[in-house]
């Protein structure tokens, strides 16, 4: 879990440096009025929000994967495999169709 958190932190930090997050506008505004501290603070806040969002996303995905694996393992002992495997295939097909329609 620690490597995932580290990866999320690095990803969020690097992603926040990219354009489109309002940092350029805020920095230009503060720097134009001579407030370098405000420019740096606003950029840092935006970057930390990006990092926090990335960490939450990675944690949510990891927890969902763990819970799904746990539930699947429990179902193997309850339901017969000849019912569970087609159900899993159906879930994967529905998921693939949803993803293909999203684009």
- The ranges of the chain with pLDDT < 50 are none
Q: What is the pLDDT of residue 26?
A: 66
Q: What is the pLDDT of residue 35?
A: 74
Alpha carbon distance 31, 38 (integer Å): 8
Domain extent for 19: 2-102
Question: pTM of the prediction?
Answer: 0.47
**Token pair listed for 37:** 């501290």
Alpha carbon distance 14, 58 (integer Å): 15
Alpha carbon distance 81, 83 (integer Å): 5
Q: What is the pLDDT of residue 45?
A: 80
* Structural domain count, the chain: 1
């Amino acid at each position: 879990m620690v490597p995932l958190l580290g990866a999320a932190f690095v990803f969020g930090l690097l992603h926040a440096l990219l354009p489109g997050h309002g940092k350029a506008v805020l920095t230009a505004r503060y720097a134009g009025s001579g407030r370098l501290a405000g420019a740096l603070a606003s950029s840092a806040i935006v970057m930390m929000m990006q990092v926090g969002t990335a960490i939450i996303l990675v944690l949510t995905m990891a927890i969902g994967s763990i819970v799904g694996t746990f539930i699947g393992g429990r179902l193997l002992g309850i339901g017969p495999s000849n019912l569970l495997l087609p159900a899993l295939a159906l879930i994967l097909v529905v998921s693939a169709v949803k993803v293909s329609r999203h684009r």
